[in-house]
């Protein structure tokens, strides 16, 4: 009986950690894609970042509008000095977007002219099986 109680207790304690590792493994490709995509934005390669974004994203904003918007937002902030991922969340549904596989990432970012910014990047598992940007916001 004591062995059974011990096994049940051990399973109850280990299950959340195993589930967290599984979620991390599922999110890892999206996190890697986000890192590469943010590097394009950081380099001022806004047209390339639009080309690499999801079909959903490209359908919502033209390449020129994206480049103009990002230039207006990012230029005053200056270069990225530091970026640390704060959280990631896997979800199947987001308001205003079709159901699918999404990973929402938040980063604490220090720009040259803004010491404390919060970037939120949403990545979508696109039709071609690649993780691609579906949204980007800076606070």
pLDDT (tens place) for every residue of the chain, 139 residues total: 443 333 333 333 333 433 334 445 789 999 999 999 999 999 999 999 999 999 999 999 999 999 999 999 999 999 999 999 999 999 999 998 889 999 999 999 999 999 999 999 999 999 899 999 999 999 9
- State the pTM of this model: 0.81
Residue 21 within a domain: no
Residue 23 within a domain: no
The domain in which residue 47 lies consists of 28-138
Residue 110 within a domain: yes
Residue 3 within a domain: no
Residue 22 within a domain: no
Residue (of 118, 40, 105, 32) closest to 77 by Cα position: 118
Residue 62, sorted as left (phi over 0), alpha (psi -120 to 50) or beta, turns out to be beta
Please state whether beta strands 114-125 and 80-91 pair in parallel, antiparallel, or not at all (unpaired): unpaired
């Amino acid at each position: 009986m004591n062995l059974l109680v011990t096994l049940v207790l051990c399973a109850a304690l280990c299950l959340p950690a195993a589930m967290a590792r599984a979620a991390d493994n599922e999110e890892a490709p999206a996190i890697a894609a986000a890192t590469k995509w943010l590097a394009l934005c950081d380099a001022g390669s806004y047209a390339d970042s639009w080309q690499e974004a999801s079909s959903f994203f490209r359908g919502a904003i033209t390449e020129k509008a994206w480049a103009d918007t990002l230039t207006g937002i990012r230029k005053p902030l200056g270069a990225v000095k530091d970026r640390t991922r704060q959280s990631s969340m896997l979800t199947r549904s987001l308001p205003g977007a079709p159901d699918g596989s999404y990973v929402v990432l938040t980063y604490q970012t220090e720009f040259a002219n803004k010491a404390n910014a919060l970037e939120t990047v949403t990545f979508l598992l696109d039709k071609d099986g690649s993780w691609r940007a579906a949204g980007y916001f800076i606070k």
